Amino acid sequence: MAFKFLWFVLDLNLTNAYNNTHLPWAPKMKETILLVYCTTSGKEEAKKIAQIIIEKNLAACCNILPDAISIYNWQGKIEQTEESLILIKTTQRKYEQLEKEIKMIHSYSVPEIIATKIETGSSAYIDWIIDNLSRKG
């Protein structure tokens, strides 16, 4: 009996990690949703990028977090820079085009553009992202 229970828990955890299919409370993802992180030189550049990617329907929503401090190694020197961070909600289907657009307009030669998959969230919000990005534009 203990072995069956352990196998069920292991199966549940592995399935959850892969696609949430055994979690009744998790919304079923119709499409892969991404949260993309992009740092910029400041609030004005962040607003410009956000405006363009929303207008081109490459993202459903952007949040701008000003006053981020980044510490990093750049060309052999430790740098500390005040930046703004854009949190971008998009879909996997839109990611490649989104990345290209950001690279075209970003002031950095190597902009930070990294994405993570959203495993779960409010069903209504997830549906809104998908519906918003499914429209022509």
Walk me through the domains of the chain, giving residue ranges and CATH numbers: 31-134 (3.30.70.120)
What confidence score (pLDDT) does residue 25 get? 53
What confidence score (pLDDT) does residue 16 get? 47
What confidence score (pLDDT) does residue 102 get? 98
Going across the sheet that includes 33-40, the strands are: 61-74, 77-91, 33-40, 113-117
How do the pLDDT tens digits run along the chain, 137 residues long?
A: 444 444 444 444 444 444 455 555 555 568 999 999 999 999 999 999 999 999 999 999 999 999 999 999 999 999 999 999 999 999 999 999 999 999 999 999 999 999 999 999 999 999 999 999 998 75
Look-up of token digits 């696609």: 19
What confidence score (pLDDT) does residue 27 get? 53
What confidence score (pLDDT) does residue 55 get? 97
What confidence score (pLDDT) does residue 24 get? 55
Say how far apart CA 68 and CA 83 lie, in whole Å.
5
What confidence score (pLDDT) does residue 30 get? 80
